[in-house]
Amino acid sequence: MTPPPPRRRPPARRPLRHLLAAALVTALTGLLGVLGVAAPAPAAAAGSLQQVTNFGANPGNLQMYAYVPAGLPANAPLVVALHGCTQSANAYYSNSGWPKFADKWHFAVVFPQTTSANNIQSCFSWFDSTKDTRDKGEAASVRQMVSYAQSAFGSDPKRVYVTGLSAGGGMAADLLADYPDVFAGGSVDSGLPAQCATTLTAASGCQMNNQNLSPGQWGDKVRASYPGYSGPWPRVAIWQGSADYTVYPVNGTELRDQWTDVWGTGQTASSTATLPGNTTESLYDDSSGKPAVALFQISGMGHGLPVDPGSGDEQCGTAGAYFLDTVCSSYYTAKFWGLDGDGGGQPDPGTLPAPTGLKVTATTDTGASLSWNPVSGASSYTVHRNGTKAGTATATSFTDTGLTAGTTYAYTVAATGSDGRTGSPSAAVSATTTGGQSAQCFTATNYAHVAAGRAHTSGGYTYADGSNQNMGLYNVFTTHTLKQTGADTYVIADSGCGS
């Protein structure tokens, strides 16, 4: 199937890049709803898109729509689907293909909607830290919709997923980082990494430029969104067109780097496959061999949600403005999450939970020691280093040897039961071996530090790589001394290299 031309735009609409830019200018003029819990409204009528009012606290001033298939059983999964700029809940319901699979595989879909009262172009505020962080603004409103659906529709709290397009994709990534305890999986379609921008001025840079962050720095943005979280992470699908000039293709790579780092899998694909619509699927498996991250790259596709109109089992959706006739992304996303009933990328029922409390207890020039909390029913534990099996242990501790001095490694651990099935991996931790090269210091302008790869820019400011310390404006007039403290990690040392 031939994808649309790279720069094709609907004749009756302004280019979405302009719409996003205009939306950003007015982003902070939104109105916030009044906090408080209202009495539950009647559940949405089965088999049609219905608005749900009074769903609870709504600090983000959003509207809730829901599609509940007729005869939906108790404890069915729930999908939250976020529209793009200039769109509506009804447009996403009508064009995305999600209702087809909700009927076929028996799950409910919630379609949150923002309006011009919040943003002139009806964009979700993925770039505003007062609206897209845990328990604040729009993020809190979506969380309330999930709670309502669990109560009114009987949705399974362990099988809740979120997907979104463009600005909705950026908000979906933020929600996965904000609420890993709520969402078992997500899909970011032509969207942006979690917390790529936290201010209005940084947003356009995220859309169109490489942020020059390491996978670890991207992963830190997720880990910082819910500090102290030690449970399993959501499984994330990423969809990106190679000819997207609104949200540039580098965002797909950055999302891949971010979520593979969170999972501790490394950035080398475990497997690749060719799908319809000139689509390449790259899977990144967790320590138990199940896909944790999936990157779908569509050659020649511009900005929009991939759909594939038709009646075939793998087809879905309706082509239109920002719904591009290439491949049915909703089908492959639902299968990746395991909504088709074969488990997909999800852990097998009955496998052991992820170990908690994984920590580094000691490091040497050539080794790292780890410990974690015991898992009831575990007969052994498997430790993975940078996504590769490092060894097994019968106790709740492990020492990895034969490492390189002055190098950082990512570790996860998973429990294996007496039946031989391995459970979900733990949250990843990093260990840096001692020794290596002595500390080096570099004195230069901010411009020169960025050019040398010791710092990066965001919103006109310069930040030291690794530490993310603010070095001031990006120019040739501001000078700092940076000390290298690890691989790709620098700190400001203006008072001396020994500081």
Neighbours of 245 (CB within 10 A): 17
The span from the CA of 219 to the CA of 398, in Å, is 24
Instruction: Give me the amino acid identity at 267.
Output: Q
The values of phi and psi at residue 425, to 5°, are -75, 155
Looking at residue 433, its amino acid is T
Phi, psi (deg, nearest 5) at residue 385: -115, 120
Judge whether 446 and 461 are in contact, CB under 8 Å.
Answer: no
Distance of CA 124 to the CA centre of its chain: 15
Which listed residue (122, 141, 166, 458) is catalytic?
166
Q: Are 413 and 355 in contact (CB under 8 A)?
A: yes
Helix 200-208 with 16-25: angle, nearest 10 deg:
160
Whether 287 is a known active-site residue: answer no
Which contacts qualify for 223-226: CB closer than 8 Å, 24 or more apart? 223/262, 223/427, 224/195, 225/133, 225/134, 225/174, 225/177, 225/178, 225/194, 225/195, 226/134, 226/177, 226/178, 226/179, 226/180, 226/181
Instruction: Quote the tokens at residue 78.
Output: 């729930």
CA dist 30 and 440 (Å) reads: 48
How far is the C-alpha of 88 from the C-alpha of 462, rounded, in Å? 37
CA-CA distances (angstroms) from residue 66 to 41, 45, 77? 12, 9, 13
Give the sign of the dihedral formed by CA 165, CA 167, CA 173, CA 175: negative
For the chain, what is the radius of gyration of the CA atoms?
23
- Which positions are annotated as active-site residues? 166
